[in-house]
């Protein structure tokens, strides 16, 4: 296989994955956008969490809400927070309690009834994201899971699951960020009538 074939195969795989998302997840994506919009419209906050690449996606989506999604869409900042962003909290909690609790501890600190937790896990088996989901439910928060493959242990834990029907991490993450962008676009449209 040459380099062109490697690149071509990945692009084709990405296109096929996004087509599968379009064919199977459109109603759930719309529902996620509505839920996020309702939470923010009521003055509540959205918390995001994930590990590795999903951590970066969590930060990316939160930033789009705090700053703005689309260039030219001037609007007020929206309350969104990526729980993977504070290195002091992450390392202190890992040291004192264990890495499994780095997100649930912050959900306890920042989450309120009516807030929304979005947990990203390509496998659906991330112990710290599972613990965060459990904490969010106890508080009375709404929950959305961005998952992949068969959904793993997290399938069915959230109010709404968005499960990318693929096993390859790269394709799942590409689709997660696409869905995150769509969610931000729906929020800007529903709250501010911005296209």
Please state the residue numbers annotated as binding site.
51-53, 60, 64, 95-96, 121-123, 126, 173, 181
What is the arrangement of strands in the sheet containing 46-49, beginning at the earlier edge strand?
80-82, 46-49, 116-120, 142-148, 160-164
Binding residues for substrate: 51-53, 64, 95-96, 121-123, 126, 173
Return the bridge partners of 164, or none. 148
Q: What CA–CA distance (Å, rounded) separates 195 from 192?
A: 9
Cα 107 to chain centroid distance, Å, stands at: 15
Binding residues for Zn(2+): 60, 64, 173, 181
Q: What CA–CA distance (Å, rounded) separates 171 from 158?
A: 22
Cβ count near 157 (within 10 Å): 20
């Amino acid at each position: 296989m040459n380099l062109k074939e490697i690149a071509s195969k990945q692009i084709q795989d990405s296109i096929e994955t996004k087509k599968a998302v379009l064919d199977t997840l459109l109603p759930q994506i719309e529902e996620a956008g509505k839920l996020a919009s309702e939470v923010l419209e009521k003055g509540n906050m959205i918390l995001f969490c994930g590990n590795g690449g999903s951590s970066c996606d969590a930060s990316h989506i939160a930033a789009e809400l705090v700053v703005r999604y689309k260039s030219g869409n001037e609007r007020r900042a929206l309350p969104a927070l990526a729980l993977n962003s504070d290195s002091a909290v992450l390392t202190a909690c890992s040291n004192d309690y264990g890495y499994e609790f780095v997100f649930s501890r912050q959900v306890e600190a920042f989450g309120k009834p009516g807030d929304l937790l979005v947990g990203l896990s390509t496998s659906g088996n991330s112990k710290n994201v599972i613990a965060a989901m459990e904490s969010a439910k106890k508080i009375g928060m709404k929950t959305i899971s961005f998952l992949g493959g068969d959904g793993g242990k997290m399938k069915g834990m959230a109010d709404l699951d968005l499960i990318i029907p693929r096993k390859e991490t790269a394709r799942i993450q590409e689709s997660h960020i696409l869905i995150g962008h769509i969610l931000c676009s729906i929020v800007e449209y529903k709250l501010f009538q911005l296209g």
